[in-house]
């Protein structure tokens, strides 16, 4: 008897979920790095203006 290989067809959205999760994590990491950078620059500017 010949066995047919039945591969379950998944919706494309289910295939895209891991990629979307990775992209969301990367976006949040970049946003956090930018936020920390902006805070550091802002503190340097405030520190310089207080010295004068």
Model pLDDT for residues 8-19, shown as the tens digit of each residue: 687 888 899 999
Sequence ranges of the domains in the chain: 17-47
**The predicted structure's pLDDT at residue 3:** 66
What does the pLDDT look like over 1-52, one tens digit per residue? 556 666 668 788 889 999 999 999 999 999 999 999 999 999 887 776 655 5
Q: What integer pLDDT is reported at residue 51 of this predicted model?
A: 52
Measured in whole angstroms, how far is the alpha carbon of residue 30 from the centre of its chain? 7
Note the pLDDT of residue 50: 57
DSSP letter string over 20-52? HHHHHHHHHHHHHHHHHHHHHHHHHHHHHHHH-
């Amino acid at each position: 008897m010949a066995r047919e290989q039945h591969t379950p067809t998944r919706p494309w959205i289910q295939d895209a979920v891991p990629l979307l999760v990775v992209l969301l994590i990367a976006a949040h990491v970049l946003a956090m790095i930018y936020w920390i950078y902006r805070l550091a620059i802002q503190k340097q500017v405030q520190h310089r203006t207080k010295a004068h």
